[in-house]
Amino acid sequence: MNFTKSIEVCFKKYATFEGRARKSEFWWFQLFCLIVELAGAFIDYLMGYESGFFELVAYILILLPSLSVGARRLHDTGRSGWWQLLYLTIIGVIVLIVWWVADGGKKNKYGPPIKLKS
């Protein structure tokens, strides 16, 4: 999956917490989120907004699809999307990154492995 396809899929599944997501879908969308938030911060800097208005708007727009693709990625590794609550702890972020990097692909309770389209 490429960068643009990942963004398209994640916004089509804006609040879909069911199913599975490949590593490429997840990581390309995380790169997109980083770019959007940096762009929001840059616009705030150019406009002289110290409140971070545009960065906050960007964050709000991408929060739900980011959480949903994170949950689907965890499903691909056989874990519940609720594990994202580990974000609230410092060490939990490291655990989540390790799980998001892990290979999925085995059949589990969240469905069959994702087939690559040819």
Domain residue ranges of the chain, discontinuous segments joined by +? 3-101
pLDDT digits (tens, 9 = 90+) for 76-101: 999 999 999 999 998 999 999 999 99
How many angstroms separate the CA atoms of 114 and 102, rounded? 15
**Per-residue pLDDT band at 118 (split at 50, 70, 90):** very low
How many angstroms separate the CA atoms of 99 and 84, rounded? 11
Task: Supply 8's token pair.
Answer: 């398209």
How many angstroms separate the CA atoms of 2 and 9, rounded? 11
pLDDT digits (tens, 9 = 90+) for 11-63: 999 999 999 999 999 999 999 999 999 999 999 999 988 888 999 999 999 99
The whole model's pTM is what?
0.88
Mean pLDDT of the chain: 91
